[in-house]
Amino acid sequence: MSDRYPLKHLAAPFAGLLGGWLASLIHLPLPWMTGSLLAVILVRCSGWLITELPGGRRVGQWLVASAIGLHFTAPVLEQVLGHLWLILLGSLGTCLLSVLGIAILRRNGVDRATAFFSSMPGGASEMVVFALRHGADPARVAAAHSLRLLLVVLTIPAIFIWTLPANAPPTLVQPDWGWLLILMPLGLLAALIWRRLGQPNPWMLGPLLCCAAASAIFDLNIALPAAGSAIGQWLIGSALGCHFDRKFFRSAPAFLLRVLLFAVTAMLAAAAGAWLLGRFTEMEVAGLTLGLMPGGITELSLTAEALHLSVALVTALQVARLLLVMFFAEPVFRLWQRRAPELDASQ
């Protein structure tokens, strides 16, 4: 089928829409994301390699990021800034967990660059770019990050939503269409500028920072309509599913198994770290756990929203870790290369 044939691009969102609807009927956590993700994976594993809707994931990130950013009201931002030390400490701790992943992969013969960038808790696309610069295997790096994201999306929301009681729901916040008609285009512009500047995750961080800044400065108390968040989840889930097929799950099974082992270990370590921080700070352990999980900003912030936890705290922890990885991963890797160069001649 030609790539120009519209059905090839419309099939994935249609399958995702059907999957999201079925997931909502059986009350799966984050149904429009997990349902659409699983539906598209199922279709692709059946042999029909449908492709994602061009720009669909970006639109989904724009919608979800805007909704998350509106949680950053002035009192919430003040609380986040008051715990800035904790956010930096927690983010640094989860970054240091990558040492365990590097050790697991290196002991099993994976080259240094591939092991390093496969284990970093950063964005998949950015890590693949770094991998190409340093001679790593970009396919394995992409596979490692895709598998970790799949694990987080399919397990963490379910574990939290099915096992933890939700906090009392906050007062219902209504959309303010006057503000939304201003902020949504501004968020889109921020994403384009962020991308132009070569910054990480522009379609998530651009709208998020734009809406968060406006919400805090003008002390807004508004929200995106529930349908907007659901559409965003559907588009993101449908696009994520297009990264998986039978070939993916069959490729380098030993490598993927070790990545899975590291991801599960890192998730357990993050939960333990959150429990310790909660004991010393008297902050909600569930929110800290979501913030420290080696997953994506979108999925974990949406889980916090579903449980009526501090979305701002979870998002701040995730963003801080992403920025730490983006700005320090390459310098740390170069330092490691200088301190322990590969002895190819002796191998």
Question: What gap in Å lies between CA 101 and CA 265, rounded to an integer?
Answer: 9
pLDDT attached to residue 15: 95
Length, in residues, of the chain: 347
Intervals of the chain under pLDDT 50: 1-3, 342-347
pLDDT attached to residue 38: 92
Q: Which two tokens stand for residue 253?
A: 């099974």
pLDDT attached to residue 346: 40
What are phi and psi for residue 225, nearest 5 degrees?
-55, 150
Using alpha carbons, select from 147, 334, 345 the residue that is nearest to residue 259: 147
pLDDT attached to residue 40: 93
pLDDT attached to residue 4: 53
Q: Is 79 exposed, middle or buried (0-12, 13-18, 19+ CB in 10 A)?
A: middle
CA–CA distances in Å: residue 103 to residues 33, 170, 251, 272, 333: 33, 44, 21, 20, 14
User: Residue 336: what residue type?
Assistant: W
Number of structural domains (the chain) is 1
Residue 202 lies in a domain: yes
Residue 128 lies in a domain: yes
Residue 57 lies in a domain: no
Sign of the dihedral defined by the CA atoms of residues 189, 195, 201, 203, in that order: positive
Question: What gap in Å lies between CA 299 and CA 193, rounded to an integer?
Answer: 24
Question: What gap in Å lies between CA 316 and CA 300, rounded to an integer?
Answer: 11
pLDDT attached to residue 146: 85
pLDDT attached to residue 20: 94
Q: Kindly give, in sequence order, each residue whose CB lies less than 8 Å from that of residue 60, ignoring residues fewer than 6 positions away.
A: 231, 232, 233, 234, 235, 236, 239
Residue 186 lies in a domain: yes
User: Residue 256: what residue type?
Assistant: L
Residue 321 lies in a domain: yes
Give the 3-state secondary structure of the chain: CCCCCHHHHHHHHHHHHHHHHHHHHCCCCCHHHHHHHHHHHHHHHCCCCCCCCCCHHHHHHHHHHHHHHCCCCHHHHHHHHHCHHHHHHHHHHHHHCHHHHHHHHHCCCCCHHHHHHHHCCCCHHHHHHHHHHCCCCHHHHHHHHHHHHHHHHHHHHHHHHHHCCCCCCCCCCCCCHHHHHHHHHHHHHHHHHHHHCCCCCHHHHHHHHHHHHHHHHCCCCCCCCHHHHHHHHHHHHHHHHCCCCHHHHHCCHHHHHHHHHHHHHHHHHHHHHHHHHHHHHCCCHHHHHHHHCCCCHHHHHHHHHHCCCCHHHHHHHHHHHHHHHHHHHHHHHHHHHHHCCCCHHHC
Residue 191 lies in a domain: yes
pLDDT attached to residue 167: 61
pLDDT attached to residue 36: 93
- CA-atom Rg of the chain in angstroms: 20
Residue 53 lies in a domain: no
Greatest CA separation for the chain: 68
Using alpha carbons, select from 216, 198, 50 the residue that is nearest to residue 126: 198
Residue 31 lies in a domain: no
The conformational region for residue 336 under phi > 0 = left, psi -120 to 50 = alpha, else beta, is alpha
The predicted-structure confidence for 271-300, as pLDDT tens digits, reads as follows 999 898 888 887 888 888 888 888 777 778
User: Which residues span the domain enclosing 196?
Assistant: 68-225+247-339
Using alpha carbons, select from 190, 232, 224 the residue that is nearest to residue 207: 190
